[in-house]
Amino acid sequence: MAKGRNYNIGQLNLKISPLLLKEGDLIRCVNMEGDQVGALKKRPGYATYLSSLGAQVDSLWSFQLDNGTQFWNYAAAGGSIFYSTQGTGAWTICGNGTMTSGTPIFNAVSENTMLICDGGSATRHTTDGTSFTNTTVAPIARGIQPYQNRIYAIGTASTLFWSNVGTPTDWTNDSSSINIPGPGRLHSLFKASDRLISTKNSGVMYRWDGYNLYDLATNLGPSAPQSIAAVEDYKFYLNRMGVFGFNGNMPELVSNPVEKQIYNDAGEGIIGTTFDNAPAVSHLYDYYVSVGTVTDDLTDETVSNCILKYNYQLDRWGNYTFANRPTSWLSYKDASGSQQLIFGDSTGQCYTYGGTQTSDNTASINAVMEFVIHANSPETEKEWPYCWFFFNPGAQAHVQVAPTNTFTKGKKKWIDLGDVKDGVVEFRSSGLTSRLLHVKISESSRGARFHFFGFSYDTRPIERL
């Protein structure tokens, strides 16, 4: 009789052969989040945030005055910019807030002034938070950043512009520009390690320190400017080769565990055009990027409205799927100082995520985990006399097992072990044999979120004749 156990559940990992994975590393992980170290918990839900804007929400952002108290949340939808005072006031159309419909808005703040651009409309600014003024002489820009007490902006071709020092609305005096070499047009602009990073749609990246321009000798820049988000000063973004981290030197691939959901031999990863407009956010040390519907070619399981989620603290990946696909995100600090996460969808509705919500705006949340037990001898036929699975008491999840010798989706015949309301599921069998034991834990209630802590099993090898 051999015994096995795992009380340190791992991440979603589709890169390593499932026979090399530590038992308890997941080949499916949908709508589960890291809670305590080694345990997983069903994610929270979301509820509506303010009223519908009537058209797809292309951007969300926030502007706080330097008095530290007054702020506004903004949404761009249907070519109009709306503001919400203190994040709780009703959506109101901004003065001179008509921009290019269907395009994201980029913003920068300096000297208590916020500038905005979208690559098609005039660059504008506001000091009162509720109305905008066209910024004279400023270029039509596709990206904008504060740096060294200036505002920098990338034009619609290959020119990087900057404003006067200390005067973000002055693009005449002590204002200049440089041409960014290399193929393609300028695509995104952001800061990392106190340097300004400009990228082109060919993927090339350059670093600017205010005096010198450095070629980073890579073509792995962001495919979508909206996918750039930061945890502390470490940037994340999506590229057709994966999700990259960036600390100001060279891009670092961080998405190996979910590579098969980004691209795979079956061609069922992220749809090509999605790479160009995938919105992302970082919130409480997690990076979220919305990538549409994906199917990996190991489990052949589809995740609709997939959000690739990376836990920076634990270095772990998983999948979320929302009932409403995010088209834009915002993590902001509310009037009480609490960090909040909101997102908008294609209908014009915004939602606030987290807290005590246990449904996706009344829709149930379908959480699924799947892993494989092979007792360190996948070639050996085995009996599975006992298995134990541990949860919090009162959990509403269900456990299923599928004894099989293959990873083929259609050959998994799931056996239902029942619910887990007592906190422990004990599985006893007589004569159940296989080389592999697939385990699936699922739950789709609107009730309390469940915790999964780990499992143990006994197995008996069957001697060959």
> Is residue 70 scored above 70 in pLDDT?
yes
User: How far does CA 350 lie from the centroid of its chain?
Assistant: 17
Q: What CATH number does the domain containing 295 carry?
A: 2.130.10.10
In this prediction, residue 316 has a pLDDT band, given cuts at 50, 70 and 90, of very high
Domain end marker among 322, 353, 384? 353
Q: Residue 407 has what pLDDT? A: 83
Mean pLDDT in residue range 433-461: 92
Q: Report the CATH number that the domain containing residue 374 is assigned in CATH.
A: 2.60.120
Same domain, 286 and 393: no
Domain end call among 353, 376, 411: 353
CA angle 397, 399, 403 (to 5 degrees): 165
Range of the domain at 15: 2-43+367-461
Do 386 and 331 fall into the same domain?
no
Rg of the Cα atoms in the chain: 25
Instruction: Express each pLDDT in 167-213 by its tens digit.
Output: 999 999 999 999 999 999 999 999 999 999 999 999 999 999 999 99
In the beta sheet, which residues pair with residue 445?
A: none
Residues 51 and 38 in one domain: no
Question: How far is it, in rounded angstroms, from Cα 392 to Cα 189?
Answer: 46
Task: Please report whether residue 219 resides in a domain.
Answer: yes
Establish if 359 belongs to a structural domain: no
Quick check: is 436 in a domain?
A: yes
Are 16 and 165 contained in the same domain?
no
- Provide DSSP, 391-433: E-TT---EEEEEEES---GGG---EEEEE-TTSEEEEE-SS-E
> Which helix H or strand E contains 262, and what residues bound it?
helix 259-262
Q: What is the pLDDT of residue 406?
A: 84
Q: Judge whether residue 462 has pLDDT over 90.
A: no
What is the distance between the alpha carbons of residues 97 and 136, in angstroms, rounded to a whole number?
16
Report if residue 158 sits inside a domain.
yes
Is residue 272 located within the same domain as residue 188?
yes
**What pLDDT sits at residue 403?**
93
Distances (CA, A) of 307 to 72, 76, 111, 357: 27, 22, 36, 18
The band of 35, judged by pLDDT with boundaries at 50, 70 and 90, is confident
The answer to whether residue 32 sits within a structural domain is yes
190 and 315 within one domain: yes
Is a pLDDT exceeding 70 seen at residue 353?
A: yes
Q: Is residue 15 part of a domain?
A: yes
Q: What is the pLDDT of residue 69?
A: 87
Give which of 263, 181, 169, 178 is closest to 223, Cα–Cα. 263
Task: Show which of 292, 321, 353 is a domain's final residue.
Answer: 353
Side by side, which strands form the sheet with 205-208? 186-192, 195-200, 205-208, 213-215
C-alpha distances in angstroms, 273 versus 60, 239, 240?
21, 12, 10
Judge if 405 and 305 occupy the same domain.
no
d(CA 228, CA 337): 24
120/159 Cα distance (integer angstroms): 15
What pLDDT score does 464 carry? 67
Total domains in the fold of the chain: 2
Instruction: Please give the pLDDT value at position 73.
Output: 98
In degrees rounded to 5, what are phi and psi of residue 225? Answer: -55, -30
Q: Does residue 184 come out as left (phi exceeding 0), alpha (psi in the -120 to 50 range) or beta? A: left
Residue 278 belongs to a domain? yes
Taking residues 100-129, report their average pLDDT. 97
pLDDT higher at 430 or 284: 284
Q: What is the mean pLDDT of residues 307-326?
A: 96
User: What average pLDDT score do residues 296-304 get?
Assistant: 94
Same domain, 57 and 20: no
Q: β-pairing, 92-98 with 436-443? A: unpaired
Helices (H), 79-197: none
Query: Could you give the CA distance from residue 25 to residue 428 in angstroms, rounded to a whole number?
Result: 23
Do 409 and 333 belong to one domain? no
If asked whether residues 136 and 159 sit together in one domain, one would say yes
The CA–CA distances, whole Å, from 293 to 261, 320, 325, 381 equal: 9, 11, 10, 37
Average pLDDT, the chain: 95
Whether the per-residue pLDDT at 408 is higher than 90: the answer is no
Express each pLDDT in 364-401 by its tens digit.
999 999 999 999 888 899 999 999 999 999 999 999 99
3-state secondary structure of 160: strand
With 80 as the cut, is the pLDDT of residue 131 above it?
yes
Rounded Cα gap, residues 196 and 205, in angstroms: 10
The predicted structure's pLDDT at residue 429 = 82
- Asked whether residue 163 is domain-assigned, the answer is yes
Task: Name the residue among 262, 227, 266 with its Cα closest to residue 242.
Answer: 262
Are 62 and 39 in the same domain?
A: no
Residues 64, 15, single domain; the answer is no
- Could you identify the residue written with the tokens 């834990």? 441
Does 128 have pLDDT greater than 90?
yes
